[in-house]
């Protein structure tokens, strides 16, 4: 492995020494250390490839320093290093495009694994790209079978149009994280009604009940698929795990199902209730 040029941000001389020893042992070059926001702004002009970022600094914090670094170059990777670590701090780190979070006391193996995963984020996206189709097809198949005890058949990819004109229901659910994604399925009103009768064993009482059923279907399918993807991603860097946003249902609208910056797969699914258009897409982030 070729080493990286790394900047250390920490106000503790002891921690700087520990980090420098570990980094240099593994072939990396420490281009300097900064212990304040002003020092960070000066040191980042050396354009490191990676920065280890203490979260607690005199007169500032790791998030403010990260913003200052990314104003100079948004592609510099940041790894947070702090004695404090909880879900709120990790979520805030994600919002600041921090790629990994290592808790003190620093464990050499954990730090090096975080560096390798961060600097090979393209490999993590390739994991998503190589696995998402099979995982989502299985989740969709299992979801339909679990709710209706019926099977579906996936037909060839449909690339005829970049838009889907729905005369019925289109359900969209987004996935958020380092890489954003989206699942979409659309069906006619008669197909949606047949699906609802099969699940409820009766006609839906109103349009809202049908809409909520489709949203639940989206949550089940996407939740199961994302859990399977995260199990693979976590082996490299759990900071790249995906999370779900609430689903939305649109009735009788033209939906954009494919955009050039996304990897996207569109299939027509044969079900016992009628045809269902099924689309999954992911976007490579600027990590």
CATH number of the domain enclosing 146: 3.40.1550.10
Domain count within the chain? 2
| CB-based contact 241:177 (threshold 8 Å) | yes
> According to the model, what pLDDT value does residue 256 have?
62
Domain that holds residue 66: 5-119
What CATH number corresponds to the domain at position 107? 3.40.50.2300
Residues 91 and 144 both lie in one domain: no
Residue 91: what pLDDT?
Answer: 85
Could you tell me if 17 and 104 lie in one domain?
yes
Regarding whether 27 and 127 lie in a shared domain, the answer is no
Domain shared by 99 and 28, yes or no:
yes
Instruction: Give the per-residue pLDDT at 283.
Output: 82
Strand pairing category for 248-251 and 262-271: unpaired
- Number of neighbours of residue 166 by Cβ within 10 angstroms: 20
Please give the chain's pLDDT, 287 residues, in tens. Answer: 568 999 999 999 999 999 999 999 999 999 999 999 999 999 999 999 999 999 999 999 999 999 999 999 988 999 999 998 888 888 889 889 898 999 999 999 999 988 988 887 667 788 888 899 999 999 999 999 999 999 999 986 655 455 666 678 999 999 987 778 899 999 999 999 999 999 999 999 999 999 999 999 999 999 999 999 999 887 776 767 889 999 999 998 666 665 556 788 889 999 999 999 999 988 865 44
Does 58 lie in the same domain as 11? Answer: yes
d(CA 142, CA 221) in angstroms, rounded, equals 8
pLDDT of residue 160: 44
Between β-strands 180-187 and 274-283, what pairing exists: parallel, antiparallel or unpaired?
Answer: antiparallel
Same domain, yes or no: 128 and 255: yes
Q: To which residue do tokens 């404090």 refer?
A: 84
Tell me the two tokens of residue 182.
């989206």
- The last residue of one of the domains, among 94, 119, 144, is 119
Same-domain status, 97 and 40 = yes
Cα dihedral 240, 241, 243, 249 sign: positive
Residues 184 and 224 in one domain: yes
Contact (Cβ atoms closer than 8 angstroms) between residue 151 and residue 254: no
Cα 147 from Cα 193, distance rounded (Å): 14
Residues 140 and 23 in one domain: no
From 119, 144, 174, the end of a domain falls on 119
Give the span between the Cα atoms of 70 and 83, in whole angstroms. 23
Domain end position, chosen among 119, 142, 157: 119
Predicted local distance difference test score (pLDDT) of residue 258: 55
CA distance 195 to 253: 20
Name every residue whose Cβ is closer than 8 Å to that of residue 58 and which is 6 or more positions away in sequence.
11, 35, 36
Contact predicate 76/47, CB 8 Å: yes
**So what's the pLDDT on residue 275?**
93
Residue 19 has a pLDDT of 97
Before 105, cis peptide (omega within 30)? yes
Task: Check whether residue 88 and residue 211 sit in a common domain.
Answer: no
Is there a single domain that holds both residue 114 and residue 239? no
Provide the H-helix boundaries in the chain.
Answer: 13-25, 37-43, 62-72, 87-95, 108-119, 121-148, 189-200, 207-233
One domain for residues 154 and 267: yes
Instruction: List the one residue out of 114, 121, 55 whose CA is nearest residue 89.
Output: 55
Q: What is the pLDDT, as a whole number, of residue 249?
A: 93
Q: What is the pLDDT of residue 270?
A: 95
């Amino acid at each position: 492995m070729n080493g990286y040029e790394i900047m250390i941000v920490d106000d503790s001389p002891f921690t700087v020494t520990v980090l420098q020893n570990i980094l240099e042992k593994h072939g990396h070059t420490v281009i300097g250390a900064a212990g304040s926001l002003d020092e960070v702004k000066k040191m980042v002009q050396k354009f490191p490839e990676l920065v280890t970022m203490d979260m607690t600094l005199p007169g500032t914090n790791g998030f403010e320093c990260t913003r200052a670094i990314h104003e100079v170059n948004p592609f510099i990777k940041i790894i947070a290093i702090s004695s404090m670590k909880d879900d709120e701090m990790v979520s805030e780190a994600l919002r600041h495009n921090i790629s990994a979070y290592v808790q003190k006391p620093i464990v050499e193996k954990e730090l090096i694994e975080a560096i390798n995963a961060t600097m090979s984020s393209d490999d993590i996206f390739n994991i998503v790209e190589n696995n998402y189709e099979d995982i989502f097809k299985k989740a969709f198949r299992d979801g339909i079978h679990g709710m209706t005890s019926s099977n579906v058949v996936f037909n060839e990819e449909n690339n005829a149009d970049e838009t889907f004109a729905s005369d019925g229901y289109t359900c969209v659910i987004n996935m958020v994280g380092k890489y954003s994604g989206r699942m979409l399925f659309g069906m006619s009103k008669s197909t949606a009604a047949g699906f609802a009768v099969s699940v409820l064993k009766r006609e839906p009482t109103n349009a809202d009940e049908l809409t909520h059923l489709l949203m639940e279907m989206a949550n089940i399918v996407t939740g199961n698929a994302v859990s399977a993807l995260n199990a693979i991603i976590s082996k490299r860097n759990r900071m790249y795990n995906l999370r779900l946003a609430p689903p939305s249902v649109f009735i009788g609208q033209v939906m954009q199902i494919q955009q050039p910056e996304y990897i996207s797969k569109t299939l027509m699914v044969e079900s016992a209730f009628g045809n269902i258009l099924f689309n999954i897409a992911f976007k490579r982030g600027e990590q």
